[in-house]
């Protein structure tokens, strides 16, 4: 090839220099990519995700919590006429029978009640919200949710709860569990629901009580809540342990 320092190049010389440079840059990038990928694969897994990727997810979490999260920033609300019944999706922790009359909500760490019945919850102001549940599998549905605000519930039955940084919710049998940051739990659209689309909650949608939390992906909308625990330490999360983002914010 011609002298690389030469400045007054013919079009052919210019083209050949560009092509050569692109080839070199592309080759280095590809090699770095392959090396980077092998390196990534050699790193320890952190909750089923290579640790460096987990760091990126955590970086995203810090960024969205700091930059976007606010209780005045609402998920979109829709007209009631657009509400539909979503398919029932995910049945982890729902296999055994639970009679509404036998069901109790166990409360841990909120400094208030230790057990509630569905009647205790229904005594709080009923709140409705029509918003979209978004599943990580790629579908979404607009639902009219009915129940009580988590924030109303916490202030009434777990007065020390909102000063903890985290909340953990579990099915009665402990098989499905979600962890939430307290800001998302206390968001005004986060509801403990006993109705969907004006009807009592169906069993496969989480009767007698499930969570609707439109600031999070569907995975955090736990069905059939058996216990709510307020805690200082970041709790385990079912899908967080299986490779999904712990925060799962929208």
Ligand X SMILES: Nc1nc2c(c(=O)[nH]1)N[C@H]1C(S)=C(S)[C@@H](COP(=O)(O)O)O[C@H]1N2
Exactly one of 49, 53, 118, 135 binds ligand X (CB under 6 A); that residue is 135
Candidate ranges 33-41, 49-57, 85-93, 95-103; the one touching ligand X (CB under 6 A): 85-93
Per-residue binding letters, 105-144, with Mo ion (x by CB under 5 A) = ------------------------------x---------
218 lies in the site for ligand X, by CB under 6 A: yes
Exactly one of 54, 86, 107, 169 binds ligand X (CB under 6 A); that residue is 86
Exactly one of 131, 164, 171, 184 binds ligand X (CB under 6 A); that residue is 171
Angstrom distance (rounded) from CA 101 to CA 117: 8
218 lies in the site for Mo ion, by CB under 5 A: yes
223 lies in the site for ligand X, by CB under 6 A: yes
Q: Could you tell me if 94 and 204 are in contact, meaning their C-beta atoms sit under 8 angstroms apart?
A: yes
Question: In angstroms, what CA-CA distances link 117 with 165, 206, 209?
Answer: 25, 16, 10
Residue nearest to ligand X (CB): 90
Phi, psi of 32 (to 5 degrees): -65, -35
Angstrom distance (rounded) from CA 238 to CA 246: 9
Exactly one of 13, 91, 183, 195 binds ligand X (CB under 6 A); that residue is 91
Which 175-194 residues touch ligand X, going by CB under 6 A? Answer: 176
Chosen from Mo ion, ligand X, none, partner binding at 53 (C-beta under 5 to 8 Å by type): none
For Mo ion, the binding residues (CB under 5 A) are 135, 218
For ligand X, the binding residues (CB under 6 A) are 86-94, 135, 171, 176, 205, 218-219, 221-224
């Amino acid at each position: 090839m011609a002298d690389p320092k030469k400045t007054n190049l013919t079009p052919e010389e210019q083209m050949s220099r560009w092509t050569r440079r692109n080839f070199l840059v592309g080759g280095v990038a590809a090699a770095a990519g392959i090396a980077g990928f092998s390196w990534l694969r050699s790193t320890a897994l952190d909750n089923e995700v290579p640790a460096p990727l987990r760091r990126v997810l955590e970086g995203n979490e810090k960024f969205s919590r700091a930059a976007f999260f606010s209780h005045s920033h609402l998920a979109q609300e829709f007209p009631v006429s657009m509400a539909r019944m979503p398919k029932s999706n995910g049945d982890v922790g729902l296999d055994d029978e639970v009679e509404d009359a036998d069901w109790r909500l166990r409360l841990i760490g909120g400094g208030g009640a230790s057990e509630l019945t569905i009647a205790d919850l229904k005594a709080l102001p009923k709140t409705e919200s029509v918003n979209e549940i978004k599943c990580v599998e790629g579908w979404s549905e607009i639902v009219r949710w009915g129940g009580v605000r988590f924030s109303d519930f916490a202030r009434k039955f777990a007065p020390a709860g909102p000063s903890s940084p985290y909340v953990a919710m579990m099915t009665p049998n402990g098989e499905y569990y979600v962890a939430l940051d307290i800001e998302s739990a206390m968001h005004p659209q986060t509801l403990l629901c006993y109705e969907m689309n004006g009807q009592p909650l169906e069993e496969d949608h989480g009767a007698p009580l499930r969570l609707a939390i439109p600031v999070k992906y569907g995975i955090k909308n736990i069905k059939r809540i058996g216990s709510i625990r307020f805690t200082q330490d970041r709790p385990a999360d079912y899908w967080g342990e299986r490779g999904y983002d712990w925060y799962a914010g929208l």
